[in-house]
Structure 1
């Protein structure tokens, strides 16, 4: 069998499930763990609760992985979303698509990016506009849109070898800029919140307010390595999509695990010189989290798509298929706690006081899942 695009279905159930698993922790899953830790005091829940907070600066927790994992998943999806177009065009890979077809894709990608930027600003409170100086322009959704867009441009115009070169160049280039370009009043290579080049450029280039006054975790310069995170996903999607002699789906899962370990180790080694830092989206962070993302995806891929154990993942699937809807709703656009208390409040107050917050957190998740199931059953999906 030649090294050509596979004719498998253009959607991986494991990808939807992993996206939902990722989103679960920020829509309400984290609160359940926090309340269980308080109620039980059990070491496991206390440790998990600690992992569901961002690190202050250098270092890593599971919560730091949620955002880049979502961007990685968006990257994995791209080869599958373009599979039909590539097959209809009669070419072997996306970079060989006709120029006219690429222009249509560019326009569609740009619309998606602009939509995500606007939605991200709405999550930031744009509709409560209180003057330009109080408006935050960067956002999680905005970074996903921008990094995915520029990663997509690279993907559509280079071979796999070219994408690896771009990935390497972005990570090394960002490291060089951060370490060698001096910041007025601080010098070069100062990787603090106020002294880093990334923070300095945010203060100069970004209008409105920054997330941390002197720094924004979704700032301008750190978008460069975020493109690398998207490219890692696109390379993963391409690897899965292509048929190679002697490499079946099971072996692909094993190879993804091996690649994940290698990337994570490289990230830890680079951490000695360029600290793992989610707020700076450091190059070591890209490699380390990219490796962990590969490992986690390999597990979901193996269990769901290779072995075929799917039923357990259904709650995650319905979250993943409307991930932007639940993200925006959970970020303050819908008061799920009020609805949950209206429905379950009487039951909650029957419990001992120490357990009431646990059931309250669980009830919020139940309300969210009911909403997502309703949308799923009625085929209502927000397509951006």
Structure 2
């Protein structure tokens, strides 16, 4: 059995593919419910995509960490700091890009803080920035601590985050208005640099909720270690023992997260500890299922080939999917049509019936376009490491 399972690449590729799908509807006003985030408490399929990707980051770390440990502290810090700054920097760049916007028919510069509205500015955090921070802190934890200590550290982060929420605002700790993480973000990031999509300054990738998200990577790392160690085992039926262990651990986390939800609601937007535990359990079960079909049953059908190429350049293709529509916004017709949304404006939005179908078909076209880019890069053996 291979030490590096193909299913890990497929798992990572599928999460990136779905991240692009949910971020590129034809219209944000016409989206099927499963492709929306939960309004607040609760879970939809879309809410699983980001935690699954962080879990995959931890999986990959399990195969890279031994080389970093062999290279020593200097090599570790050089690698981790460089990668963290690159991912965070790309995310911040995309938040600011294209540095100008159309206003009353004129391109005006986008300032770090808007001169016309001091509460508007460039958002500091985001998806890539959270990936960078979680990667950094999880790397430090698993590099310097023994497995048991790293596991306990993750547990303390989950429990500590819960305690902070309760102590800071015992009367209303889990509502949009009462969640204390917003006060932390206002004090450190300041209002102009926070997300405003909820109608008030609130950052779903904020500082406080990152504590819990870090544990998603740590759990992914331990899963990767477990898979790697068992993959090199010479014991008979080692693969089935691996799958059994993953399923049992996944179900245990699911039950724990479900029970914790009664006290600390599952919520992606404030990334509650119960959310981390529950989604990590689902990720383990999903990954174990993929290993069974891909590695054991040797299924090599179209879905595996389709998602695998996304997994070869995951962060690059995700960043590109944000870069292209932002670039297109600079060159638009009077009706708002750009080279990026042309297909939706001229074709898919005119489909008869439910307008959500046209919006979804456009998102599928974006996925196909991005797949061809990934396929070409893979064919040319071009792998852009971030």
TM-score (norm: length of structure 1): 0.81
CA contact (8 A) 2:26 2:358 kept: no
Q: In the alignment, which residue of structure 1 is the partner of 2:272? A: 282
* Counterpart residue number, 1:54: 37
Tell me, which stretches of 5 or more residues in structure 2 are unaligned? 100-109, 114-119, 330-336
Q: Which moved more, 1:69-78 or 1:244-253?
A: 244-253
CA distance in 2 between partners of 1:338 and 1:145 (Å): 31
Q: RMSD of the alignment, in Å?
A: 3.0
Per-residue CA distance 1:323-359 (angstroms, 9 max, x = gap) = 222212222524599668879999x68x964476665
1:204-248: CA deviation from partner (whole Å, max 9, x where unpaired): 111432113432111111111111111000110111111465661
**Residue in 1 that maps onto 2:243:** 253
The verdict on how the C-alpha distance between 1:34 and 1:310 changes in structure 2, with shifts beyond 3 A counting, is farther
1:120 has 2:120 as partner:
no
- Deviation at 1:161? 1.0
Aligned partners of 1:263 and 1:287 also within 8 Å: yes
* Structure 2 residue 168 is matched with structure 1 residue 181: yes
Aligned to 1:22: 15
Shift of 1:177: 0.8
Structure 1, unaligned runs of 5 or more: 1-6, 39-45, 87-93
Whether the aligned pair in 1 keeps the contact of 2:19 and 2:50 (CA below 8 Å) is no
Aligned ranges for residues 1-384 of structure 1 at < 5 Å?
8-9=2-3, 11-28=4-21, 49-83=32-66, 85=67, 94=69, 97=70, 101-128=72-99, 129-132=110-113, 133-182=120-169, 189-207=172-190, 208-212=192-196, 213-243=200-230, 248-312=238-302, 313-334=304-325, 353-354=352-353, 360-384=362-386
Query: Shift of residue 302 of structure 1?
Result: 1.6
1:4 is matched with none
Q: Is residue 265–residue 272 contact of structure 2 (8 Å, CA) maintained in 1?
A: yes
CA contact (8 A) 1:151 1:231 kept: yes
Structure 1 pair 78–356 and aligned structure 2 pair: CA distance change class (3 A): closer
Give me the whole-angstrom Cα distance separating, in 1, the residues matched to 2:166 and 2:53.
Answer: 28
Secondary structure at the counterpart of residue 242 of structure 1? helix
Count residues in correspondence. Answer: 348
TM-score of the two chains, using structure 2 as the length reference: 0.81
Over residues 184-219 of structure 1, what are the superposed CA-to-partner deviations in whole Å (9 max), with x where a residue is unaligned?
xxx655222222111111111114321134321111
Runs of 4+, deviation exceeding 6 Å: 29-35, 340-346
Residues 278-324 of structure 1, C-alpha deviation per residue, up to 9 Å, x if partnerless?
A: 11111111111111111111111221123221333111011121222
Distance 2:365 2:134 in 1: 35
Q: Distance in 2 between matches of 1:79 and 1:352?
A: 47
Q: Distance in 2 between matches of 1:308 and 1:228?
A: 32
Specify whether residues 343 and 195 from structure 1 end up closer, same or farther in structure 2 by C-alpha distance, changes over 3 A only. Answer: closer
Deviation at 1:181, TM superposition (A): 2.5
More helix per residue: 1 or 2? 1
* CA distance in 2 between partners of 1:32 and 1:17 (Å): 23
Q: Label 1:166 to 1:134 Cα distance change in 2 as closer, same or farther (>3 A).
A: same
- The 3 A distance-change label for structure 1 pair 342 and 284 is closer
Residues in 1 aligned to 2:121 and 2:89: alpha-carbon distance in whole angstroms: 16
Structure 1: how far apart are the matches of 2:372 and 2:97?
Answer: 28
* Deviation (angstroms), 1:16: 1.3
- Cα distance in 2 for residues equivalent to 1:344 and 1:215: 31
CA drift of 1:361 comes to 4.2
